[in-house]
A and B are shown apart, each in its own frame.
Chain A
Amino acid sequence: MNLEQKLAKLDELAQTIEQENISLSKSLEIFEQSVTLAKECMQTLNDCKGRLTVLTEEVRRIVDEK
């Protein structure tokens, strides 16, 4: 699953858990799944932020070179 799919899944889980007929054990299962997804999303986003910083620096260096 890519980042967008994970974000969509997380959104879906947040909606599912709000349904009234859902059991506590099922809710906890969803919560567990959400935490795992959130961790993965945050990891990906932090990677993106890092790559963005590196690229910005690299392009700035190229622009200043010539």
Chain B
Amino acid sequence: MTVSVTQLNNYIKGMVEIDGVLSDLSVVGEITNVKQYKSGWFFSLKEGDNSINCLTFSAATPPVTGMMAVIEGHLNYYPKTGSLSVYVRRITSTKNTGESYLNFLELKEKLKKEGLFDDERKKIVPKSCQKVGIVTSETGAVIHDITNVVYRRQPFTQLFLYPVKVQGEGADFEIARGVLYFNDTDVDAVIVGRGGGSNEDLSVFNSEVVVRAIAACSKPIVSAVGHGVDFTLSDFAADKRAVTPTEAAEFVTLDVQKEKDHIRYCLSQIASICNNKIISCKDSVAYNLKGIQSTISLLTQSYKSKFVRQLTKIESNTTNKLQQRQHQLDKSMTKLSALNPKSILQRGYAHISHKGNTLSSIDELQIGQQIDIFMQDGVAQATVTNKETK
């Protein structure tokens, strides 16, 4: 009989739903792979190598990795993916911690005591590696992501892949060999990683052989195992832990384009500062020169004013003196004019002389004497006929 996938899935779903045992289960095991979503919790319940997926939307006790618990609920078949999971309504802790989790903690403590996780052991991962070793699967998203990111950021980088199995039997030894292989190469750093998965999938990176190989490697190691929430012992032993393979690729390379932009920015800042300094110096020169020029101009003006003032003073003094002299001269001239005999004659007086000698007294005259009478406009001769003293 041939049936379609839908028919088969619907058949299985029906069988699961009508089964009395599966509709009311109580299962004991170790909780692992806990993931919280908005809708609820997803986790696995495991015992040794066996596990079953579980989900709960209503359990009062949240699932915790490593917790030994009894879960109560019913089995559900999901036809879209063909997967079985337990819908959990109650989780009851048995107060015991799961065996695998105990083993994990025990190994972690042991390696920690040996100093494998000490910060002092950690090597510096170069920010711009020329050669990078990668220990991961040759197929899958991890190598693809790393290659893409590295070549986009730093196109001149050389990548060397040591392909390994990243889960399952023998994967731990392959990974350890891969890590140690790069000891004798000239790579600048090594990325050890794999994508996300269940705790069981990632457990190879908790294996002692891998952790010891990472700690012993002479090259700086970047671990990129699972997603951000997953922590493995390899992460503790590695020199740097990346949340994702993409971040690991970013740790070992520089974004060349971004660096160029940064250099351009710095350069333009420096140039701008230098330019401002030049402008400021030029301004200072111009300011001082203008100041000096202005002072000189003021000084010249002040000298000029002083000169003009003095000149005016001299001119004024000279004029005064000249006027004084003129006045004195006028006075003298008036005096002189008053003393001029002609001016006396003009007033109607006459000058009498005899043979050129001036006669000013009546006693000097003789009766019958010839005299000259000088008047303002001529001279006349006269004879003295009589005289009388007054």
Which B residues are CB-close (under 8 A) to A1? none
B284 x A52 contact (CB < 8 A): no
Which A residues are CB-close (under 8 A) to B268? 56
Pick the contact of B284: A7, A13, A17, A60 (CB < 8 A): A7
Min C-beta distance of A30 to chain B, whole Å: 7
A–B pairs, 17, beta carbons within 8 Å: A3-B281, A7-B284, A14-B291, A14-B292, A17-B296, A24-B299, A24-B300, A31-B292, A38-B285, A41-B282, A45-B278, A45-B281, A45-B285, A49-B275, A52-B271, A59-B267, A63-B264
Report the bound CA distance from A14 to B296 in whole Å.
11
B299 x A13 contact (CB < 8 A): no
Is B288 part of the contact surface with A, judged by Cβ < 8 Å?
Answer: yes
- Say whether, besides A17-B295, A60-B267, A48 and B285 are in contact (CB < 8 Å): no
A41 x B295 contact (CB < 8 A): no
A41 x B285 contact (CB < 8 A): yes
B289 x A38 contact (CB < 8 A): yes
Report the bound CA distance from A43 to B286 in whole Å.
13
A59 x B263 contact (CB < 8 A): yes
Report the bound CA distance from A34 to B303 in whole Å.
21
Report the bound CA distance from A29 to B269 in whole Å.
41
Report the bound CA distance from A39 to B300 in whole Å.
23
Is B293 part of the contact surface with A, judged by Cβ < 8 Å?
Answer: yes
Q: Would you list the 9 A-B pairs with minimal beta carbon distance, nearest first?
A: A14-B288, A10-B288, A17-B295, A14-B291, A41-B285, A38-B289, A34-B292, A38-B285, A56-B271
Which B residues are CB-close (under 8 A) to A45? 278, 281-282, 285
B278 x A17 contact (CB < 8 A): no
Min C-beta distance of A26 to chain B, whole Å: 10
A41 x B281 contact (CB < 8 A): yes
Is B274 part of the contact surface with A, judged by Cβ < 8 Å?
Answer: yes
A31 x B285 contact (CB < 8 A): no
Which residues of A, 37-65, contact B by the 8 Å Cβ criterion?
Answer: 38, 41-42, 45, 48-49, 52, 56, 59-60, 63-64
With CB as the reference atom, state the residue of chain B lying closest to A34: B292
Pick the contact of A10: B264, B271, B289 (CB < 8 A): B289
Which B residues are CB-close (under 8 A) to A49? 275, 278
Which B residues are CB-close (under 8 A) to A17? 291-292, 295-296
Tell me the B residues contacting A by CB distance below 8 Å: 256, 260, 263-264, 267-268, 271, 274-275, 278, 281-282, 284-286, 288-289, 291-293, 295-296, 299-300, 303
Which A residues are CB-close (under 8 A) to B284? 7, 10-11
Tell me the A residues contacting B by CB distance below 8 Å: 3, 7, 10-11, 13-14, 17-18, 22, 24, 27-28, 30-31, 34-35, 38, 41-42, 45, 48-49, 52, 56, 59-60, 63-64, 66
Report the bound CA distance from A9 to B274 in whole Å.
22
Report the bound CA distance from A52 to B276 in whole Å.
12
A31 x B296 contact (CB < 8 A): yes
Which B residues are CB-close (under 8 A) to A42? 282, 285
B264 x A60 contact (CB < 8 A): yes
B289 x A27 contact (CB < 8 A): no
With CB as the reference atom, state the residue of chain A lying closest to B277: A48
Min C-beta distance of A7 to chain B, whole Å: 6
B278 x A30 contact (CB < 8 A): no
Min C-beta distance of A32 to chain B, whole Å: 10
Which B residues are CB-close (under 8 A) to A28? 296
Given contacts A11-B288, A31-B292, A64-B260, 11 further A-B contacts (CB under 8 A): A10-B284, A18-B295, A24-B299, A27-B296, A27-B299, A45-B281, A49-B275, A52-B275, A56-B268, A60-B264, A63-B264
- Say whether, besides A45-B281, A48-B278, A52-B274, A38 and B288 are in contact (CB < 8 Å): yes
Which B residues are CB-close (under 8 A) to A60? 264, 267
Report the bound CA distance from A2 to B347 in whole Å.
98
Which A residues are CB-close (under 8 A) to B260? 63-64, 66
Which A residues are CB-close (under 8 A) to B271? 52, 56
B264 x A34 contact (CB < 8 A): no
Report the bound CA distance from A28 to B288 in whole Å.
15
- Say whether, besides A48-B274, A60-B267, A63-B263, A7 and B281 are in contact (CB < 8 Å): yes
B278 x A35 contact (CB < 8 A): no
A27 x B295 contact (CB < 8 A): yes
